[in-house]
Amino acid sequence: MSGGLISEVAAGLVVPRPEGWEQLDAPADSVVLAHPPVPEGHFRPNLVLRRSESDSVSLPRLSTAALAGTLVLPGTHIISNELWHQQLDPQGALVEGRQQRFVRVAEGQVVCVDRWLFSDCGGSLEATASYALEQHTGMRPLFEDMVFQMRRAAPVAAGAPASPAGAQPRLDPAASRLLQTAAEDLAPLRAEQRHRVSGQVIGPESLSLLLSMANRDALGRFDAAGAGESAAQLQALGLLDGRRLTPSGREFVQPLRGLQAQFTVSAVGPDGSTGMDAWLGAGSALVAAGPSASEMQSTVMPSGSCELLCIDAAALPVFLAKWLPLVPAWTAGQYPLRLSGDLFERRLNGGSDVEAPVGLGEAEARMWAQPWVGWNVEHVHSGRKLGWVTAGDAGPFLATADPRNGGVALEPEPASAVWDTLVDFILAAAQGAFDPR
């Protein structure tokens, strides 16, 4: 036993299991470890291990196939696909794998999924951890520790590696060179996961009128007379019936009435700027979003209008990940790129045509050549703010201002780490962890 984990042998692996967890019935090639039973209506965290004995499959092919299968699942958004190294044999060398993270919205629940993949001994090994978004803070590191401690029950005899069977996926040449391994091309994932407007499209005056009804169910006679087109739009959207809120309208203002946290998100790049506001409370979130950060010039919405949705509170980080978008990319480089405040602003607003600093390394040059979108998330009542730059194929970079000289440091950060930070930030704010300014 180590750190509260009991070791047991299953499916050819020494598998760590937390005390009190159960091993459920599963096919012969699988192991299912489940959290102790939870109350009805709550998600029961679990870890599923699967071993497939088949022709040797390359890791990029295994990863690409898993991502493609996930992409078609309804209500799913893939967050990340990253390198993972693990010592599967007790005294053996590190084995390269992939850690993939995605999130699903289904049947009123938001489920986070972490998946680890290894091309292993002529077959494949997969570990899949599932937990509800509100369980993220405790469950994610526990599952990561369980997988990291997993070992083969018996060492594998050394031998020449088998040639991978089947056609190989397209690789990302620049990422493969920087990471010194065959890295699959992730660009199609970013194209497939572009944000698509699914809510009501509403004008700014109509939104202001709706927000003014946070503490009333009906417009006053004079308010209604002065509202004119704004009231008519709310009526057309089914939010007002005459001067009164409809059941749908009351649902939309419910987060305002039980407000726990309010967020603003802003994004800027060479194509302009955009933003969104979100109010979290009473188990739901009201979202008013402009064009997504990757489509600032979109003509889907009239100028000044926004997409209006009322969603489950736990779905807010998922909407944010889609809108930004937060998607898989190969993160390379170990050190921050430090820029003067002036050069940072010129590059952010002017694009890659702005002359790069002298002496950039290959990873920094790759990042400089990509399209940039700078964005931040702010908790309104405390003023706490987080900021990043997303640089296309190069992925996200944590943006930190230096108050001493006005400079900005851009530190490469995996998409999974950005997701973890966003989820923890939103959950903490909703739980009242931030002091007001």
Q: What is the pLDDT of residues 48-58, one digit of tens each?
A: 999 887 667 88
Q: What is the DSSP string of 373-403?
A: EEEEEEETTT--EEEEEEEGGG-EEEEEE-T
Going by their DSSP bridges, the two strands 123-132 and 109-120 should be labelled as: antiparallel
Rounded Cα gap, residues 346 and 117, in angstroms:
41
pLDDT of residue 144: 95
Token pair in block for residue 413: 């950060």
Rounded mean pLDDT, 235-248 = 95
The amino acid sitting at 315 is A
pLDDT in tens, 13-32: 888 889 899 988 877 778 89
Rounded Cα gap, residues 149 and 3, in angstroms:
11
pLDDT in tens, 297-354: 777 788 889 999 999 999 999 999 999 999 999 999 888 999 999 999 999 999 889 9
pLDDT in tens, 395-423: 999 999 988 889 999 999 999 999 999 99
pLDDT band at 158 (very low <50, low <70, confident <90, very high): low
